[in-house]
Amino acid sequence: MIFAVRLSAELKAAIAPMRRVLLPIVAISSVYNVLLLSGSFFMLLTYDDVLPSRSVPSLVSLLVMVTLAYAFQAALDVIRGRIMVHVGSLFMRSISDRVLDVISRYELTRGTMPGGTQIVRDVDTVRAYLSGPGPLAVLDLPWIAVYLLILGVFHWSLGLLALAGVLVLVSLMLLNNRMTEPLALATMRTGARRAGLADATLRNAETLKALGMAGARRGEWHAAESEYLRANDRFSYISSTMSGVTKAFRMLLQSATLALGAYLVIEGSATGGIIIASSILSSRALAPVEQVIANWKGMVSSRQALGRLRELLDAVPHQVEPMGLEFPNAGISVAGVTAAPPGTRTVTLADVAFKLEAGEALAVVGRSGSGKTTLARIVCGVWPALRGSVRLDGATLEQWSPDQIARIIGYVPQSIELFEGTIAQNIARFRPDADREAILKAARAADCHDLIVRLDGGYDYLIGPQGGGLSAGQCQRIALARALYGDPFLIVLDEPNSNLDYEGEMALGQAIKRVRERGGIVLVIAHRPSVIAHVSHIMVMNNGRIERFETREEFQTRMRPPAPISRSESKREEADMAAQVGE
């Protein structure tokens, strides 16, 4: 019943383990349900044969047989439970890589990801349902017909009463589905909003404290929490009410079966053993329906989770890894690139085109919002271009494998993010084959080796969440070392000196110089004129377009006053130059 939702090919492959074990599970469940009849027949034989004959050996024999039956029943129940736990684990393992793929690529290609990391909780929801008793209860449902048939053999009225009870429970189950499905969806949405507020509060705790925003944030948090509790409580109230009603109805039906059996005995149409056996059988006939209702919340949540998983997996198709090419060493060309932030049609970069050869460096300058960061992301392949192409040695970035791209491109984003782990792991980009000499070389190239060894543990210093324990300048220096690790051919630096002091800026200049000397290419987004001294070309951007592309000498000549000028004119010229680089 969980698979009533339409599944994509990837999800079908993910649940394939369940399809493979379906026949063994059905076989085990069949034997298990046959053994469940042992209690009813034990009571039937005890009351109808053993008590009238007063045979102790017969009673002992029946007790031994029913004990063995219960032992096998317990063993089979454990076995099928463990199989389902294994199925749930296989589901998670089979889809794990694609989930990480969606998390890492969705917002870079489609815009804001709905629900944030809800996809992780959706996978957990499906796994928990597959590993629980819900699917086994569904497999037990067909055995209701067998129990009803046996009751009908005892007496047609007993079978009819049990059938009426089953129909009532099925009606309650369908009513439960109709009432709880929209509430389950509302619970998920409000829960995702609440989790998003918690994540945002954690990330911006410093700002909330400094600006006294905690009170305003608390009001928003309480509103989100109230919405979540309202939806979740209504869902839980309905589910618990239905569960209570079904339990009470089952006990009522059991008493009604006893009463009907007693009436049949009075009328001479049944024996005393049939009274007890039919009561147990009617209870057993209703048990699968009751189990399904008890696990209905998990089933509805899992079905909705599978629907969301399908949508996200379809939105971020699986990428076939290309064959790969030789590492580039000649140059980069950007041809007619037009781009917009993912998920929007607001163009922030229009018809940008330029070329750089090995050993050259380009400083991209301009006012805020002129498209500099968009260009950096397009050149790195972080964002897709709406039109145009970025080529290294004549080949687009898609023609290299992700592992090759990691060795070809070094990138320092505008917002520095270091991951939880050691400094050495961060510099080496968490590569399992990290080379110690390459880590030390990258740190020295970024001139942060001395900074690192002064920390407790040096390169084994553990970085906390969001770079916890390090200053913004230290994080930026380590991020530069990470970009330089492995001597990539193309280095893209988005405002790499925004948090650097004078010493850090000097180190940045030396790093750019070394990359150029070894034949690499550097593209640096600059807001400070100091970077210009270390590049070969300057590109001025305005409103997403190239306003000017020239060599450094041409830029400096254009900005240099032609003759001695007055103090006021000199200040005006300095202001003009600062405006060109976006100060």
DSSP string for 192-246:
HHHHHHHHHHHHTHHHHHHTT-HHHHHHHHHHHHHHHHHHHHHHHHHHHHHHHHH
Task: Find the mean pLDDT for residues 494-520.
Answer: 82
- Could you tell me if 177 and 247 lie in one domain? yes
Task: For residue 92, tell me if it sits in a domain.
Answer: yes
At 165, the pLDDT band (50, 70, 90 cuts) reads confident
- Could you tell me if 163 and 305 lie in one domain? yes
Beta-carbon-side half-sphere exposure of residue 492 (alpha carbons within 13 Å) = 20
* DSSP annotation of 531: G
| Residue corresponding to tokens 């004119």 | 569
**Residue in 257, 289, 292 with CA at minimum distance from that of residue 275:** 257
Task: For residue 324, tell me if it sits in a domain.
Answer: no
The dihedral formed by the CA atoms of 293, 294, 296 and 302, expressed in degrees to the nearest 10: -150
**8 Å CB contact between 422 and 461:** yes
Q: Give the residue from 291, 315, 339 where a domain finishes.
A: 315
* Predicted pLDDT at 552: 82
Q: Copy the structure tokens of residue 77.
A: 């129940």
- Could you tell me if 247 and 376 lie in one domain? no
Q: Is the pLDDT of residue 2 over 60?
A: no
- Could you tell me if 338 and 288 lie in one domain? no
**8 Å CB contact between 1 and 288:** no
Task: Find the mean pLDDT for residues 512-516.
Answer: 89
Report the CATH number that the domain containing residue 460 is assigned in CATH.
Answer: 3.40.50.300
* Predicted pLDDT at 467: 61
**Residue in 134, 150, 142 with CA at minimum distance from that of residue 37:** 150
**8 Å CB contact between 106 and 113:** yes
Task: For residue 321, tell me if it sits in a domain.
Answer: no
- Could you tell me if 269 and 214 lie in one domain? yes
- Could you tell me if 290 and 436 lie in one domain? no
Average pLDDT score, the chain: 83
- Could you tell me if 335 and 284 lie in one domain? no
* Predicted pLDDT at 1: 47
Task: For residue 268, tell me if it sits in a domain.
Answer: yes
* DSSP annotation of 547: E
* Predicted pLDDT at 468: 66
- Could you tell me if 356 and 279 lie in one domain? no
At 4, the pLDDT band (50, 70, 90 cuts) reads low
- Could you tell me if 156 and 130 lie in one domain? yes
The tally of domains found in the chain comes to 2
Question: How many other CB atoms are found less than 10 A from the CB of residue 52?
Answer: 11
- Residue 337, classified by CB atoms within 10 Å of its CB into exposed (0-12), middle (13-18) or buried (19+), is buried
* Predicted pLDDT at 580: 53
Distance from C-alpha of 314 to C-alpha of 298, rounded to nearest angstrom: 24
Distance from C-alpha of 281 to C-alpha of 284, rounded to nearest angstrom: 5
pTM assigned to the model: 0.74
Among 80-84, 177-181, 205-209, the minimum mean pLDDT is found in 205-209
Phi, psi of 352, rounded to the nearest 5 degrees: -85, 130
Q: Copy the structure tokens of residue 75.
A: 């063993």
% of the chain beyond a pLDDT of 70: 93
- Could you tell me if 464 and 543 lie in one domain? yes
Q: Give the residue from 266, 285, 315 where a domain finishes.
A: 315
Task: For residue 320, tell me if it sits in a domain.
Answer: no
- Could you tell me if 402 and 450 lie in one domain? yes
* Predicted pLDDT at 353: 92
Task: Find the mean pLDDT for residues 275-303.
Answer: 82
- Could you tell me if 303 and 340 lie in one domain? no
For residue 41, what are the domain limits?
Answer: 8-315
Task: For residue 149, tell me if it sits in a domain.
Answer: yes
Q: Is the pLDDT of residue 579 over 70?
A: no
Report the CATH number that the domain containing residue 219 is assigned in CATH.
Answer: 1.20.1560.10
> What's 91-157 look like in SS3?
HHHHHHHHHHHHHHHHHHHCCCCCCCCHHHHHHHHHHHHHHCCHHHHHHHCCHHHHHHHHHHHHCHH
Task: For residue 3, tell me if it sits in a domain.
Answer: no
Task: For residue 322, tell me if it sits in a domain.
Answer: no
pLDDT tens digits along 342-373:
888 888 899 999 999 999 999 998 888 888 88
Task: Find the mean pLDDT for residues 513-517.
Answer: 90
- Residue 78, classified by CB atoms within 10 Å of its CB into exposed (0-12), middle (13-18) or buried (19+), is exposed
